[in-house]
Amino acid sequence: MPAAESIETRHTFCRICEALCGLEVTLADGAIRQIRPDPEHVATRGFGCMKGLKQHKLFSSPDRLRHPGKRVDGELVRVSWEQANSEIGARLKDIRSRFSPDAIAMYVGTAAGFGVLHPIFAQGFMTGLGSKSMYASATQDCSNKFAVARQVYGFPFTQPFPDVDHTQCLIIVGANPVVSKWSFLQVSNPIERLREIQQRGGRVIVVDPRRTETAKVASEHVFIRPGTDVFFFLSFLQEMFAIGGVDRAKAADFMTGAEEVERLVGSWTPERTAEVTGIAPEKLREIVAAHRAARGAALYCSTGVNMGGHGSLAFWLMECINALSGNLDRRGGTLVGRGVMDFPRFGVKNGVLMRDDRSRVGGFSSVNDAFPGGILADEILTPGPRQVRALFVTGGNPLLTMANAGRLARAFESLELLVVLDILPTETASLAHYVLPCTAPIQRPDLPFIFPLMLGLQSKPYLQATRAIAPPDDEQRDEATIYLDLARAAGAPLFGSRVAQWALQAAKWLHSVRRRGRQPEIPQELLLSLLLRATGNGGFAKLLAEPHGRLRPDHRESDFLGQRVVTDDGRVHLAPPQLVDAAHKLDAAFDRERATAGRLRLITKRQVATHNSWTHNFEEFVAGDRGTNHLYMHPQDAARAPLADGELADVSSEIATVRVPVRTLFELMPGTVALPHGWGHQRATGLSVASRTRGVNVNLLAADGPDAIERISGMARLTGIPVDVRPASGPQATQSWSGLPEA
Ligand code: SF4
């Protein structure tokens, strides 16, 4: 008789997006058979989506990187870890001695932020090398929030969030939590939570160029022309002051700059801005009145605002609305969470994420100790001191996610050394000299990633620990171990500390001896346990004993202002000089908007089955009709082109043209077209499924370089781009990831 199957249930949490859903995993003889949402999870309460529930299939792709690879004569050949580490280490020593430490750069992608140890060790590696050449994917989607928060609240990670559980009026601008989940806030089950607001008599108003999935469950949807949010917020503030909707007493007690903001917005009446936003003055006044009448109201924005060209100013003005209306630090308004430690005070005291470096190209200020991705190609291609000669790419795929990928590809091809740490052979990996195989999230132990842990950006604060659910395949290793070994090989101790390097190496050796024959690794659970103990939360094992998570104290109102603001004077700075100066120049931007009113504006659009650039390699997510992205057009715009459903269109920006099939969509504001991002994998031959998809990379249409990116935060403009759309004609103009026309 065959032996009975051994069935086991384990609990973990998803590390694909910020919802961090609690999951229940069934293992049969040690292999994952099924993943379900954990109904008993203290915060996520049985919520999950198809990506999280099928991640074991996604992560067990035959295309997964399983061995270190070195490019020889254009081909990636298998090498040992010892060879990869020693050769990379030798090349780093050589580059450091010939140039400067800053000649070695690192690009950190979003995936790095979903583990605790990965970003800490990646930064420790760069500190050991003595390089400040860090680039982060945040400058594609959220650096504006960090840059503004540092000026307004004193620390980039001080990010007030809407009190979703108690608000009576939630105004969501340029965000679609029903599909993308929330950002800078962990909330489970967005549809349920938005309905709860309405069930208790509150209002949810969505302001967006598309009637999004979120707009469909909101109380009301208002169209806005892409890229004009900053003018909407200016008029919102102007009207707020005009109707006496400012809590002047609270502003006087806890803030500076209210009068300056009032002067600044004085001329931006709803009548004036309606011309570019498309929002009628009466409608804007009605929204402001509803906001004022609510007992607890909040405005929230995300990528649609962040990436639209004025992300910093727009977010700053939105924060001014939340603060000046008296809703900051108020139940039902916006709250500032507490993490497991007072990270803002720690950061300010120790200079963590507070460096004031200047980029060589363009003189951009660093944000969170990183430079804008939009100048990375220039930093590689421009000769001179500190020119980037070597690049590490960790947890990201910049050739698909950054602006002007064609130019970036040419820059990468010119590097002396490109090392990619990833789970799959991406487009970026296809150019790398060395590719190092990493474990996937379910193959490693962890805590909820750094945002909730350090900052309490959770609507329901909790802690959770997970063990690795699946073992590594072959020679895959976690990034912390990889950076420890590379630091040793390069003769550049992690964190610049020989003691730390030695202690971690010794811990790795001991742990690996105990693991007998498996891939060597640092004791990840031990390090996570030390982190928990250092913050007074007991050890890792104790937290594991609470498999559905451990609730932490709820957020409270009146817990931030006058107590935890880390500016020099402890007040919220509503009118930082750099932001005020930039706002005074908005007249010119307004005139440009008016001058280009007749042109189509391109926005991005997230699809349920895909996640940024990396879930297209799973057949089920891209089967049949889902095997390409489409250009969505309002029927009126399509008729004018003229284009019909299914026909091919050439979409042209100032810098590129892509060819893509059209789909008409009534839910778009006329004058707006939408193209989902993350596509364009045709040259990633190692991705056997994704390379057969037909979509195009929308970011080819976006410009990079110092003149194209936003000055305050270094954000690239990836939405609200003026484009022309016409029926496809002439030779195939579809762009590959390299930006070169296909033959
Ligand atoms: S919403 Fe989906 S992808 Fe995001 S954490 Fe939950 S299961 Fe994972």
Q: Is the CB of 718 under 6 A from ligand 1?
A: no
pLDDT of residue 743: 31
Give residue-wise pLDDT tens across range 386-428. 999 999 999 999 999 999 988 999 999 999 999 999 999 999 9
Determine the distance separating the centroid of ligand 1 and the alpha carbon of 18, expressed in angstroms. Answer: 7
Residues 229-235, mean pLDDT to the nearest whole number: 98
The pLDDT-based confidence of 732 (bands split at 50, 70, 90) is low
What is the layout of strands, in order, in the sheet containing 297-301? Answer: 220-222, 203-207, 169-173, 297-301
State both tokens at 37. Answer: 């949402």
Give residue-wise pLDDT tens across range 59-88. 899 999 999 999 999 999 999 999 999 999
pLDDT of residue 605: 85
State both tokens at 337. Answer: 């969470």
Percent of the chain with pLDDT over 90: 83
Is a pLDDT exceeding 70 seen at residue 653? yes
Q: Is the CB of 17 under 6 A from ligand 1?
A: yes
The pLDDT-based confidence of 3 (bands split at 50, 70, 90) is confident
CB-CB contact of 113 with 84 (8 Å): no
Q: Is the CB of 175 under 6 A from ligand 1?
A: no
pLDDT of residue 370: 96
State the Cα–Cα distance between residues 501 and 487, nearest whole angstrom.
Answer: 8
Least confident of 86-90, 252-256, 386-390, 625-629: 625-629
Determine the distance separating the centroid of ligand 1 and the alpha carbon of 16, expressed in angstroms. Answer: 6
State the Cα–Cα distance between residues 685 and 85, nearest whole angstrom.
Answer: 25
Determine the distance separating the centroid of ligand 1 and the alpha carbon of 325, expressed in angstroms. Answer: 34
Amino acid at 685: T
Residues contacting 508, CB < 8 A, separation 6+: 481, 484, 520, 521, 522, 523
Angle at 272 between CA 269 and CA 276, to 5 degrees: 125
Q: Is the CB of 16 under 6 A from ligand 1?
A: yes
CB-CB contact of 632 with 675 (8 Å): yes
Residues 303-322, mean pLDDT to the nearest whole number: 97
Is a pLDDT exceeding 60 seen at residue 592? yes
State both tokens at 534. Answer: 């250092």
The DSSP symbol for 326 reads: T
pLDDT of residue 1: 65
Residue whose C-alpha is closest to residue 90's, from 481, 393, 486, 482: 486
State phi, psi for 423 to the nearest 5 degrees.
-100, -20
- The mean pLDDT of the chain is 94
Residue whose CB lies within 8 A of the most ligand 1 atoms, among 14, 15, 179, for a mutation test: 14
pLDDT of residue 78: 98
Least confident of 19-28, 191-200, 401-410, 629-638: 401-410
CB-CB contact of 450 with 113 (8 Å): yes
Atom of ligand 1 nearest to the CA of 17: 4
First CA to last CA across the chain, in angstroms?
60
Residues 686-694, mean pLDDT to the nearest whole number: 89
Determine the distance separating the centroid of ligand 1 and the alpha carbon of 466, expressed in angstroms. Answer: 16
Q: Is the CB of 41 under 6 A from ligand 1?
A: no
CB-CB contact of 38 with 548 (8 Å): yes
Is a pLDDT exceeding 60 seen at residue 355? yes
Determine the distance separating the centroid of ligand 1 and the alpha carbon of 516, expressed in angstroms. Answer: 34
pLDDT of residue 242: 98
Residues 120-145, mean pLDDT to the nearest whole number: 96
pLDDT of residue 736: 47
Does residue 469 sit in helix, strand or coil?
coil
Q: Is the CB of 49 under 6 A from ligand 1?
A: yes
Determine the distance separating the centroid of ligand 1 and the alpha carbon of 17, expressed in angstroms. Answer: 5
CB-CB contact of 398 with 112 (8 Å): no
Residues 274-293, mean pLDDT to the nearest whole number: 98
Residue whose CB lies within 8 A of the most ligand 1 atoms, among 15, 20, 21, for a mutation test: 21
Q: Is the CB of 138 under 6 A from ligand 1?
A: no
Give residue-wise pLDDT tens across range 368-377. 999 999 999 9
Residues 261-266, mean pLDDT to the nearest whole number: 98
Is a pLDDT exceeding 80 seen at residue 665? yes
Atom of ligand 1 nearest to the CA of 13: 5
State the Cα–Cα distance between residues 309 and 708, nearest whole angstrom.
Answer: 9
